[in-house]
Amino acid sequence: MLESIANIEGFMEGVESLEEFKSDKMLCHAVVYNLQCIGEGAYMLSKDFVAQHIEIDWAAIAGLRHVLVHDYYQVDIETVWWVVQKDLAPLKDYIGQICRIK
């Protein structure tokens, strides 16, 4: 998950606006793919792990993956933008904390 987050951060470097993001189809596809990877990682977590780390809505992350994979042509790229802008940094921080504990 951390690798996919780092990929997205790298891809998004210098992208300042939703309009700029939306206008770059390759960028959008790269970000969506990495969000799918993050969601797959969340989906594969054990029930015990999820129960021990309730601060993150793992089901919502996995659910986003299902939407991105199965309803691909209905994906709202503005929603993708806001997920990247608002949700990625806290997830990265939380996963980083978990990795440092182990």
Q: pTM to 2 decimals?
A: 0.92
Please compute the mean of the pLDDT values over residues 21-37 and round it to a whole number. 97
Q: What is the pLDDT of residues 45-96, one digit of tens each?
A: 999 999 999 999 999 999 999 899 988 778 899 999 999 999 999 999 999 9
Q: Hey, which residues are catalytic here?
A: 65, 70
Provide the residue ranges of all domains of the chain, joining segments of one domain with +.
2-101
Angle subtended by helix axes 25-43 and 58-70, to nearest 10:
130
b/e string for 76-99 if b means 16 or more Cβ within 10 A?
eeeebbebbeebbeebbeebeeee
